[in-house]
Amino acid sequence: MKFCFCIHVLIYLLLPISNLFAIDNYYNENNIENSKNYDSILWYKTSAEKIAIYREIFELSKPILLNAKKNKIKSGYVCGVVFDIDETILDSSEFNYKILQEGKEYGSSSWKKYANASKYTIAIPGASDITNYVHSIGCIVNIVTNRSTLTLLPTKEILNKYNIYYDQILFVETGIKDKDKNSRFKAIINGKYPSKIKYKQQIIAYYGDNIQDFPDSYQKNYFNKDSSNNIYDKFGTEYFCLPNPMYGSWTNNKINNN
Ligand SMILES: [Mg+2]
C-alpha cells in the first residue's frame, strides 16, 4: 500500500516535467526551421552567395555570347538564346517558403494559386540586364518554361514589371503532360513552333537551374560522373547552370546509389 502511494506521488511529481517535454516536442515538430527544406530556402532567399553566383554567371557569359554571335552563326540561321523561367530569371522562393509555412506539399494546385499571385514572384538579380543584353547584340530571347499556359498572363505581367526582355515564351501547352523541353528546343532551332517566331535559330546559349533545362540532359546521365567527363564540356561555353538548392530533378538522386 505504502509502495503504491509512493508510485502515485512520483507520477504526480513527474507529470509537469513530462508535459514540458511534450510541449518541447510539439514545438520542434511544428517549427519550420526544423523542416528539411528550411536551410535551402533560407540560403536562396537571403544569402549574398546566391546573388554573387547569379552575377558571376551572367557577367562571365556576356563576352562568350558576343563572340558566338559575331563568329559562329551559320548561314540561314539567326542567333538565339534560351532561358528557363523559375530560379533562372524569376525567383519563386517566396512560393516555396509559403508552402513550407503552411506545411503543404509542392503540387500543381498550390503552384497555380501562388503563380497567379504575382506578389510572390520577383526578378532574379541580373535577369533584366542579361536578357536585354542578349537582345542588344541581335539575338532572339526565347523562354522555355514548364509553367503551363494557364499562367501566361501573370507570368508576362511579372516579366514586364521587372523589365525582363523576351521575344517568345514556350509554355507547356494546356493538356499536355510531357514536360520534356527537347521538342520545344528542336522546334526553335527548326523555326517550326506553332504560331511563334518562324526563324531557324542557332542557339548559342542555354540558361537554367535544372539539368533538364539543357538539350538531351537528364539527371541519370550525369550521376556519378566527375567534372572531367565530356558530358560537362558545354558548361561555361554554351550551357550556363544557375543554383537551386530548393528543388529539382537532383532530389531523386540517392547518396551511395550503386
Ligand atoms: Mg527552373
pLDDT at 230: 93
199 CA to centre of ligand 1 in angstroms: 25
N- to C-terminal Cα distance for the chain? 62
pLDDT at 85: 96
H-helix or E-strand spanning residue 132: helix 127-136
The DSSP bridge partners found for residue 134 are none
- Structure-block grid coordinates of residue 253: 538522386
H-helix or E-strand spanning residue 141: strand 140-148
215 CA to centre of ligand 1 in angstroms: 14
What single-letter amino acid sits at 66? L
Residue 237 counted as domain residue: yes
Residue 3 counted as domain residue: no
Where the chain has pLDDT below 50, the residues are 1, 3-7, 9-29
Instruction: Report phi then psi at 245, rounded to 5.
Output: -85, 0
pLDDT at 32: 80
pLDDT at 177: 66
Residue 211 DSSP code: G
191 CA to centre of ligand 1 in angstroms: 24
H-helix or E-strand spanning residue 150: none
pLDDT at 16: 46
Residue 13 counted as domain residue: no
- Alpha-carbon distance 121 to 156, whole Å? 12
47-56: per-residue pLDDT in tens? 999 999 999 9
22 CA to centre of ligand 1 in angstroms: 40
Cβ neighbours for 128, distance < 8 A, ≥ 6 positions apart: 162, 163, 164, 165
Number of residues assigned to the chain: 258
pLDDT at 40: 95
208 CA to centre of ligand 1 in angstroms: 6
197 CA to centre of ligand 1 in angstroms: 23
172-198: per-residue pLDDT in tens? 876 666 689 999 999 999 988 766 678
195 CA to centre of ligand 1 in angstroms: 24
Residue 229 counted as domain residue: yes
pLDDT at 257: 54
H-helix or E-strand spanning residue 27: helix 2-30
Residue 59 counted as domain residue: yes
Alpha-carbon distances of 249 from 28, 61, 116, rounded to whole Å? 29, 24, 24
Residue 105 DSSP code: P
Residue 4 counted as domain residue: no
pLDDT at 132: 98
184 CA to centre of ligand 1 in angstroms: 15
Alpha-carbon distances of 215 from 27, 105, 106, 182, 234, rounded to whole Å? 45, 29, 26, 6, 11
pLDDT at 176: 66
Residue 193 counted as domain residue: yes
- Alpha-carbon distance 20 to 255, whole Å? 37
Number of domains composing the chain: 1
Instruction: Encode burial over 157-193: b for 16+ CB neighbours within 10 A, e otherwise.
Output: ebbeebebbbbebbbbeeeeeeeebeebbebbbeeeb
Residue 11 counted as domain residue: no
Say which CATH number the domain at 65 has.
3.40.50.1000
Alpha-carbon distances of 233 from 206, 230, 237, 239, rounded to whole Å? 14, 5, 8, 9
Range of the domain at 207: 54-89+124-245
